[in-house]
């Protein structure tokens, strides 16, 4: 069984943290389809200290989705230690570990000196990791890119490892590249080669097909694989990925499976009492690739309630089945 720190994991395919997409309902759904580890979307360390209401809501976790890591963003090392202490005191059993966001490349993050901006200062990253480690015995991980405008991921990783980080996720693009070009899996291989068994390496980027999980593992020797955009509106991807990894036949994502998945999703939305804005992104992702997707997307985009979204999708299945 694979481990991060002392945390045992039943599998090796993870769901990437994705703001507005990886809410409690979707994470729980992904778990039903075999994901090994999920993350909250990025949460402000400072926001936690200020007891911001929206931030607090993001700490909601279901028993069924565990284990889950809480991903934090910020830049001041002390904020991280204090944020983790608050979370651990209030919700000691919610999170299995904590992740540092050093990859977010949106202008707001760079202006605020967090996310991928952290890649500009390897020493500060080391201090943040030490600060996080000082407030919990749970595993600490970091999610990074190759650098901001110049590649320096090995320097940042060295500082993180010296400070005791347990796992490193690499999305192998520079911050300034956004999502342009191809994720350079060769850099994941370099990272694994440099640290061998000192730290767990999580490969991320452009895992578009279930078979890509196997390819990434073979090409990079990474310990875990993390899926982002391909899993938007498609939790079935995790079932397919696990089959690919264990050499089993990859099941087809047919109409019956799609219908089953969306029904489960709406049940979870009700269970966790979510609102339309929590549901819309998943639904828009879900209809991707279906016949008539553009018109379905428009209708979902314009709908104001969850029941409207549900009706649009139910009618689609009635007409096409
Ligand atoms: C809509 C969206 C939201 C994202 N939000 C986060 C986030 O909150 N934290 C983070 O570390 N990365 C975030 N990412 C980056 C993903 O976790 C991942 O690193 C990236 O999408 C590359 O993986 P992929 O090619 O499998 O999508 C986000 C990506 C997308 C598309």
Per-residue pLDDT tens digits for 102-128: 999 999 999 999 999 999 999 999 999
**pLDDT level of residue 55 (50, 70, 90 thresholds):** confident
Mutate to test the pocket of ligand 1, among 14, 15, 18, 207 (most ligand atoms within 8 A of CB): 18
Among 245, 278, 307, give the residue marking a domain's end: 245
Centre of ligand 1 to C-alpha 207, Å, is 12
| Residues 60 and 178 both lie in one domain | yes
| Residues 30 and 122 both lie in one domain | yes
- Integer Cα distance of 159 and 175 in angstroms: 19
| Residues 186 and 278 both lie in one domain | no
Among 219, 245, 271, give the residue marking a domain's end: 245
| Residues 159 and 302 both lie in one domain | no
Whole-prediction pTM: 0.97
**Angle between the 122-134 and 77-90 helix axes, to the nearest 10 degrees?**
30
Among 204, 219, 245, give the residue marking a domain's end: 245
**Scanning the structure block, which residue is given the tokens 């069984």?**
1
| Residues 273 and 232 both lie in one domain | no
- Integer Cα distance of 177 and 113 in angstroms: 17
Measured over the CA atoms of residue 168, residue 172, residue 174 and residue 175, the dihedral's sign is negative
186: domain range?
2-245
| Residues 310 and 198 both lie in one domain | no
Helices (H) and strands (E) in the chain, counts: 14, 11
| Residues 49 and 184 both lie in one domain | yes
pLDDT of residue 32: 98
Residue with the smallest CA separation from ligand 1 atom 15 is 18
250 in a domain, yes or no?
A: no
Domain count, the chain: 2
**pLDDT level of residue 291 (50, 70, 90 thresholds):** confident
| Residues 50 and 199 both lie in one domain | yes
Average per-residue pLDDT for the chain:
96
| Residues 235 and 304 both lie in one domain | no
| Residues 162 and 272 both lie in one domain | no
Centre of ligand 1 to C-alpha 315, Å, is 31
- pLDDT of residue 51 exceeding 90: no
91 in a domain, yes or no?
A: yes
């Amino acid at each position: 069984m694979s481990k991060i720190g002392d945390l045992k994991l039943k599998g090796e395919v993870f769901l990437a943290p994705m703001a507005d997409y990886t809410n409690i309902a979707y994470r729980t759904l992904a778990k039903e389809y075999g994901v090994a580890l999920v993350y909250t979307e990025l949460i402000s360390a400072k926001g936690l200290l200020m007891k911001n209401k929206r931030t607090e809501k993001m700490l909601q976790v279901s028993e069924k989705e565990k284990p889950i890591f809480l991903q934090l963003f910020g830049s001041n090392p002390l904020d991280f230690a204090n944020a983790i202490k608050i979370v651990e005191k209030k919700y000691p059993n919610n999170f299995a570990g904590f992740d540092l966001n050093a990859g977010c490349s949106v202008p707001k993050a760079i202006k605020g000196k967090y996310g991928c901006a952290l890649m500009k200062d390897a020493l500060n990253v080391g201090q943040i990791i030490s600060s996080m480690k000082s407030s919990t015995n749970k595993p600490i991980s970091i999610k990074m890119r190759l650098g901001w405008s110049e590649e320096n991921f090995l320097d940042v990783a060295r500082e993180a490892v010296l400070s005791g980080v347990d796992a490193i996720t690499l999305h192998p693009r520079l911050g300034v590249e956004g999502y342009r070009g191809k994720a350079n899996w060769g850099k994941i291989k370099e990272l694994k080669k440099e640290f061998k068994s000192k730290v767990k390496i999580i490969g991320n980027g452009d895992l578009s097909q279930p078979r890509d999980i196997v390819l990434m593992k073979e090409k990079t020797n990474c310990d875990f694989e993390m899926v982002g955009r391909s899993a938007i509106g498609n939790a079935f991807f995790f079932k397919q990925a696990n089959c690919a990894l264990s050499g089993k036949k990859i099941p087809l994502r047919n109409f019956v499976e799609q219908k089953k998945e969306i029904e489960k999703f709406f049940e979870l939305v009700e269970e966790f009492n979510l609102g339309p804005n929590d549901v819309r992104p998943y639904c828009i992702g879900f209809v991707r690739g279906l016949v008539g997707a553009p018109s379905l997307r428009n209708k979902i985009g314009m709908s104001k309630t969850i029941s409207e979204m549900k009706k649009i999708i139910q009618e689609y299945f009635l007409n096409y089945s």
